[in-house]
């Protein structure tokens, strides 16, 4: 007898092949049988679900999350599993919380507050520090149990901080320090890391505007650590690319390590419209030479909710550093009022079009929620419109307005990836890795954890950029192969019963909403699924059309520590 049979479904197997109508049986968390209609039928089951023609596919694999901290207090990493995600890859960009010495914990949390937009109060109240080393972190997750399956990168910034302490953000490493980092990366790979992750991106700054530790690494350090990962014979090198790590340079690293290099973040910019395609052409040229470079992109426009108490979108700017270094609201307001500082910011925006997170597109920046009742009439207006009406430069207007509301105004910026014709070209490239949800991070700015539902609904059904079998493949079978996830990502006998049941006619991500349920009561943006009827993780039903439906004390996921080459 099967534990579960899902009957009469359109079965999308994750390979990109056309669906077949049939039944699927599950026993002990594994797919035990698949029977096409017209053939033999499956026998009795403890539970039977009548799909009535709904689509059945593997669960979504989210390859770019930052749940490293949240998973220690929330094993289900809400909301991802309720949005179809059955496997999450943690530790992207190298912004992990392990390894971490006790004396470095607060520094690590303060860095995460800035670089990943996390609440410091939530981190301090929520993180379970029952580990120091990376192997101990994996052991703790295994002991506590996890909701979805998770795989974890060995993270460069944490490795660097373990070896160098506070100097990790200040200087290059010595040969002896690099040797110690190499040992830690090898230890992480032996313990079950999915690979090694780092960032060289200029936008990635920690507390006070200091560069995240990995940004101080020189060529010697990067090559040594990537080779250390590759020495294991498996693993993925993942980085968020900065200006100093060109695609030809990354191709050299792929050759040396003999491992895939996953490159974030491929976003289209209206102010530099050819840059993304130049990068993609370089990546594909490297692939044609037999070197596995993979461009990581998103199917969601990059938009951020923010206040000027924490305006992440401006913090990639050199001129913004005095504001990042200011301690307390009054010190911050003093910087914002400074005419010379405003001039420096304005000049940098004008000189660096297309190379910053925010590139001066004031017509794509809106007031979402005014703090004062008399200003509510301005909600929904663009900053370009408001500044013109006021006869001010946009930068002066937005800063003056924010100051007039004690920096409590909620703004939203539509930053990148909002030209659907251009984005469609990127998504249609069969070798791009569609991910970049950043789930677990920037919780006050955006929530893209439902990216997979958006791909299947908006890009596949509504726009036809991908057919549905290919959209499913790009969310399941393709990332499973990339990350070496054994026995996952496809609907095949013997594979894990990571499943999602959905209606192709309605599937979508719902509207975002604000919740105040993080540790210490901190706020986050979240969303619900539309058209998703069931999610199973290793055969255990976790979500239905109303959201989570599982007793949260059950932990059906696995901490994945063994990967194929």
Quote the CA–CA distance of 490 and 380 in Å, as a whole number: 43
Looking at residue 40, its pLDDT comes to 73
User: Can you tell me which residue has the tokens 């014979």?
Assistant: 233
Looking at residue 322, its pLDDT comes to 94
Cis peptide preceding 99, ω within 30 of 0: yes
Mean pLDDT, the chain, integer: 95
Quickly list DSSP for 194-225: SEEEEE--TT-B-GGGPBPGGGG--HHHHHHH
Domain 60-301+417-481+491-548, what architecture?
Alpha-Beta Barrel (3.20)
Quote the CA–CA distance of 463 and 421 in Å, as a whole number: 10
Indicate the helix (H) or strand (E) that contains 139: helix 134-144
Is the Cβ–Cβ distance between 157 and 94 less than 8 Å?
A: yes
Q: Going by C-beta distance under 8 Å and a sequence separation of 6 or more, which residues neighbour residue 561? A: 138, 151, 191, 192
User: Can you tell me which residue has the tokens 């520094």?
Assistant: 107
- With b meaning 16 or more CB within 10 Å and e meaning fewer, what string describes 520-529? eebebbbbbb
Quote the CA–CA distance of 23 and 53 in Å, as a whole number: 10
* pTM exceeds cut of 0.85: yes
Burial environment of residue 151 by CB neighbours within 10 A (0 to 12, 13 to 18, 19 or more): buried
Cα–Cα separations (whole angstroms), residue 369 to 160, 379, 411: 40, 6, 7
- Residue spans in the chain of domains classed CATH 3.20.20.140: 60-301+417-481+491-548
Angle in degrees, CA 176, 179, 182, rounded to 5: 155
The residues of the chain scoring below 50 in pLDDT are none
Helix (H, G, I), strand (E, B) or coil at 514: strand
């Amino acid at each position: 007898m099967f534990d579960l049979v899902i009957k009469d479904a359109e079965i999308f197997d994750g390979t990109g092949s056309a669906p077949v109508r049939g039944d699927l049986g599950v026993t002990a968390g594994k797919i035990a049988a698949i029977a096409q209609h017209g053939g033999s039928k499956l026998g009795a089951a403890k539970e039977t679900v009548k799909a009535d023609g709904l689509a059945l596919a593997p669960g979504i694999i989210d390859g770019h999350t930052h749940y490293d901290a949240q998973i220690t207090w929330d094993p289900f990493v809400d909301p991802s599993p309720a949005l179809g995600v059955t496997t999450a890859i943690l530790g992207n960009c190298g912004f992990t919380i392990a390894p971490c010495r006790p004396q470095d914990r607060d520094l690590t949390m303060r860095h995460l507050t800035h670089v990943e937009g996390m609440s410091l109060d939530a981190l301090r109240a929520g993180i379970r520090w029952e580990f120091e080393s990376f192997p101990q972190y994996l052991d703790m997750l295994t002991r506590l149990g996890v909701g979805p399956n998770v795989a974890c990168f060995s993270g460069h910034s944490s490795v660097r901080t373990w070896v160098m302490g506070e100097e990790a953000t200040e200087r290059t490493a010595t040969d002896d320090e690099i040797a110690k980092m190499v040992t830690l990366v090898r230890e992480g790979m032996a313990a079950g890391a999915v690979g090694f992750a780092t960032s060289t991106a200029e936008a990635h700054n920690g507390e006070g505007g200091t560069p995240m530790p990995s940004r101080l690494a020189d060529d010697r350090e990067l090559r040594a650590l990537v080779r250390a990962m590759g020495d294991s014979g498996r693993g993925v090198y993942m980085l968020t690319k900065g200006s100093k790590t060109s695609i030809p340079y990354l191709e050299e690293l792929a050759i040396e390590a003999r491992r895939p290099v996953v490159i974030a973040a491929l976003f289209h910019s209206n102010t530099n419209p050819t840059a993304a395609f130049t990068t993609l052409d370089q990546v594909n040229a490297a692939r044609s030479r037999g070197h596995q470079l993979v461009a990581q992109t998103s199917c969601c426009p990059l938009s951020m909710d923010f206040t000027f108490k924490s305006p992440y979108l401006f913090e990639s700017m050199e001129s913004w550093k005095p504001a990042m270094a200011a301690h307390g609201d009054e010190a911050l307001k003093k910087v914002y009022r400074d005419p010379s500082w405003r001039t420096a910011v304005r000049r940098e925006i004008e000189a660096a079009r297309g190379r910053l997170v925010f590139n001066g597109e004031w017509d794509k920046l809106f007031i979402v929620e005014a703090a004062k009742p008399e200003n509510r009439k301005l909600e929904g207006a663009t900053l370009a419109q408001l500044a013109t009406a006021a006869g001010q430069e946009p930068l002066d207007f937005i800063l003056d307005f924010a100051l007039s509301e004690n920096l409590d105004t909620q703004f939203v910026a539509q930053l990148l990836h909002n030209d659907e014709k251009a984005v469609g070209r990127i998504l249609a490239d069969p070798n791009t890795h569609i991910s970049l949800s950043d789930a677990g991070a920037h919780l006050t700015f955006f929530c893209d954890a439902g990216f997979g539902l958006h791909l299947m609904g908006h890009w596949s059904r509504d726009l036809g950029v991908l057919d549905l079998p290919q959209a499913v493949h790009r969310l399941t079978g393709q990332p499973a192969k990339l990350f070496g996830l054994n026995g996952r990502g496809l609907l095949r006998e013997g594979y894990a019963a990571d499943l999602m049941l959905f209606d192709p006619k309605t599937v979508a991500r719902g509207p975002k909403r604000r919740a105040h349920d993080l540790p210490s009561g901190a706020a986050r943006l979240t969303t619900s699924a539309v058209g998703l009827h069931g999610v199973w993780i290793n055969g255990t039903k976790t979500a239905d059309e109303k959201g989570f439906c599982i007793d949260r004390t059950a932990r059906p996921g696995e901490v994945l520590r063994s990967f194929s080459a």
